Structure 1
Amino acid sequence: MPSSQPPHDHAEHDHDHDHAACGHDHGPKHIYIYSPAGAVRDKAAFRRGVKRLQALGHEVEVDADALSSHQRFAGDDAARVAAIHRAAASGADLALISRGGYGLTRILPAIDYARLGKAIADGMKFVGFSDFTALQMALLAKNGATTWAGPGLLGDFGSPEVVDDIMEACFDDLLSGHGEGSGWRMPATPRSAASQAPDDVYVQKATLWGGNLAVMAGLVGTPWLPAVKGGVLFLEDVNEHPYRVERMLTQLLMAGILGRQKAIVLGQFTDFRLTPHDKGFKLQSVVDWLRSQIDVPVLTGLPFGHVPTKVLLPVGAKVSLSVEGRDALIYWGHVH
């Protein structure tokens, strides 16, 4: 790793929290909680998340429709669009989604991107993951705005377990403006040539983009997926069997998206179950196949996804990426 670029946000793949170097003291911040996608069913987790943020000293403002419900959504389409616009107008330091699920893709044409872009330019940070990827990609496509891939309220701050300390420390770094990068150790792989990650990679000042693979694949061919060339594309997903992960990667591959990147970084793919029919076809099989299809480094093990230990990543920002052996670092401190 370049010694001149020490990361503040650092999480090891093995979840050894002694390696975490996030966390700085800062004053209280104004956090706006809103629900742009799925309905909040677990009200106890919602309350727990709000209380945890308040206990950290923050002023938490809850959107008027944050707990609304219409079918599987947090209010009808118009209500959710209005909630996004209220978040942008709130003057908060940070707008945090209550949860993902599904619901943002269908309302992308109705959102006022200029309004959100102005709020971001004025310093507001929009944070979320999963279904939130749709809004992040649309903002990047429409006005190049930087948002943050990071926690949601329910599953992270509202967890019945102890809040993950790496996630919380990286969130704290974002609020205090100290976050400069995220490092991790890629998992060891079998010794076959197909499974080997590249030993040394160095990419300078490339656009970091991506998020949930299913959401990304669903935006291909629409105006809401940015045409990023020479970027660092990160991907994660949940409840998707490896063959479905491969099918969605194939969509991005055949659309010409994967081959145009400087690097592909795979986060966590969790909560799937292999079957006897697979006969050895597993997630590593998909990684091996992808490496055989493109002349682009494919890295694994990024601590991000539907998991407690997740770093925060600036979607749309210029980053540098370095890999030495199994040690990988995404660094954006130079963008400040």
Structure 2
Amino acid sequence: MTFSMPALGPGDIVHVVAPAGPVPGEAVKHGMSILAGWGLSPVAGRHLLAREGYLAGSDEERAADLAAAFAGDGTSAVAFARGGFGTTRLLPLLDLPALAARRRLLLGYSDATALGLALSRDHPQPHLYGPGIAELGAPEPDHHVASLQAGLLGQHPGGVQTIQGLQTIRPGHVRAVVMGGCLSLVAALAGTPFMPSLQGRILFLEDVGEEPYRLDRMLTQLSAAGVVEGICALILGRFTGCGPRPGADSLEAPEVLESWARDLDVPAVAGLAAGHGPGRMTIPLGVEADLDAETGTVAFQHR
């Protein structure tokens, strides 16, 4: 079985939806114009600008937009406008096997982790783990826009995205499919029917704004729920803003993460700049990667 990332081309339709938090209208409009400038055809979900507290509309509205986006004739990709909270609430409302069978490219990070994993229960879903569309028009954009463009349009030389300079936690060399995303969401799915098996996979984890004891609790949950049983390697991203409160008696986040990683007894690296934080890259999930943990290098196989 092959695992590859579809490359979009001129005129390909990208449905932009908001399954989580409410979306700033001007920002998402600007982001969609950037997609159009790349030759793509962005289409807004019916309830894209809906608001209901910290959600972008009711559960039924958000689920309907997701279902319509995946079912749309000619749809090539389904893109999150932003993260936030709320995608896990939609999973029981969706016909996940039918959505997964469409094999649409999923774009998004943070809360999009929940959908990417839930769609991967039978076969890894092609998922570009990158910025929400509303983030593309930020006043001071960083290089993640160029990284997203390369991932969406298949511009990585030879179809391979190589990242070097990662920190070695435990050496080793493996080639396997990469799955995962935001630790908070992976932990939220642990023990539910929406969590796919990660046996034989490389697990990628990152997060933002979680104190070390909360990271410890979530990592312990992954172990206790059997989520990490059988994984073949671990890639830790950045954990931005995850330090302890001033004056708190606490371990530091790297201590918590590295101790847990070493106990897994698999090749492991840290420091991949993807997900949250400035300057992050867009990386593919649901595809194979070649990880050399000794040299701190990972090569994602887009094609």
Which residue of 2 is the match for residue 63 of structure 1? Answer: 45
Q: CA 1:284–1:171 in 2, change beyond 3 Å: closer, same or farther?
A: same
| Residue identity opposite 2:15 in structure 1 | Y
Matched, 1:115 2:87: no
Which residue of 2 is the match for residue 216 of structure 1? Answer: 186
Which residue of 1 is the match for residue 153 of structure 2? Answer: 175
| Residue identity opposite 1:213 in structure 2 | L
Q: In structure 1, the residue corresponding to 2:280 is in which secondary structure?
A: coil
Q: Which has the higher helix share?
A: 1
Which residue of 2 is the match for residue 158 of structure 1? Answer: 137
Contact 1:236–1:269 (8 Å) recurs in 2: yes
| Identity percentage of aligned residues | 32
| Residue identity opposite 1:105 in structure 2 | T
Q: In structure 1, the residue corresponding to 2:121 is in which secondary structure?
A: helix
Matched, 1:130 2:110: yes
| Residue identity opposite 2:297 in structure 1 | A
Could you tell me which of 58, 61, 67 is aligned with 1:76? 58
Q: What is the TM-score with the length of structure 1 in the denominator? A: 0.79
Greater gyration radius: 1
Contact 1:207–1:228 (8 Å) recurs in 2: no
Q: 1:177 Cα deviation (Å)?
A: 6.7
Matched, 1:331 2:300: yes
Which residue of 2 is the match for residue 201 of structure 1? Answer: 172
Q: Which moved more, 1:74-83 or 1:310-319?
A: 310-319
Query: Unpaired runs of 5+ in structure 1?
Result: 1-23, 188-195
| Residue identity opposite 1:315 in structure 2 | L
Could you tell me which of 220, 224, 240 is aligned with 1:270? 240
Q: 1:152 Cα deviation (Å)?
A: 0.9
Superimposed CA distance per residue, residues 270-317 of structure 1 (whole angstroms, 9 cap, x where no aligned partner): 124433444562112113321442212331011112124333333233
Q: 1:44 Cα deviation (Å)?
A: 2.6
Q: CA 1:51–1:170 in 2, change beyond 3 Å: closer, same or farther?
A: closer
Q: 1:142 Cα deviation (Å)?
A: 4.6
Which residue of 2 is the match for residue 33 of structure 1? Answer: 16
Query: How large is the RMSD of aligned CA atoms in angstroms?
Result: 2.4
| Residue identity opposite 1:314 in structure 2 | P
Distance 1:87 1:259 in 2: 34
Q: 1:169 Cα deviation (Å)?
A: 3.5
Distance 1:144 1:54 in 2: 28
Which residue of 1 is the match for residue 4 of structure 2? Answer: none
Superimposed CA distance per residue, residues 219-264 of structure 1 (whole angstroms, 9 cap, x where no aligned partner): 1111101112121000111111122111111111222333421111
Q: What is the TM-score with the length of structure 2 in the denominator? A: 0.87
Superimposed CA distance per residue, residues 76-113 of structure 1 (whole angstroms, 9 cap, x where no aligned partner): 11111110011112322222110111111111011122
Contact 1:113–1:143 (8 Å) recurs in 2: no
Distance 1:129 1:225 in 2: 17
Which residue of 2 is the match for residue 89 of structure 1? Answer: 71
Could you tell me which of 156, 161, 165 is aligned with 1:185? 165
Could you tell me which of 193, 199, 215 is aligned with 1:245? 215
Superimposed CA distance per residue, residues 164-202 of structure 1 (whole angstroms, 9 cap, x where no aligned partner): 335423433332375423413125xxxxxxxx623x421
Distance 1:264 1:119 in 2: 29
Superimposed CA distance per residue, residues 151-172 of structure 1 (whole angstroms, 9 cap, x where no aligned partner): 21123x132213x335423433
Which residue of 1 is the match for residue 88 of structure 2? Answer: 105
Q: CA 1:307–1:26 in 2, change beyond 3 Å: closer, same or farther?
A: same
Q: How does 1:225-236 map to 2 (within 5 A)?
A: 225-236=195-206
Distance 2:264 2:237 in 1: 18
Distance 1:52 1:314 in 2: 20
Q: In structure 1, the residue corresponding to 2:198 is in which secondary structure?
A: coil
Query: Unpaired runs of 5+ in structure 2?
Result: 1-6
What number of residue pairs does the alignment pair up?
294
Q: In structure 1, the residue corresponding to 2:14 is in which secondary structure?
A: strand
Q: Which moved more, 1:231-240 or 1:52-61?
A: 52-61
Contact 2:83–2:109 (8 Å) recurs in 1: yes
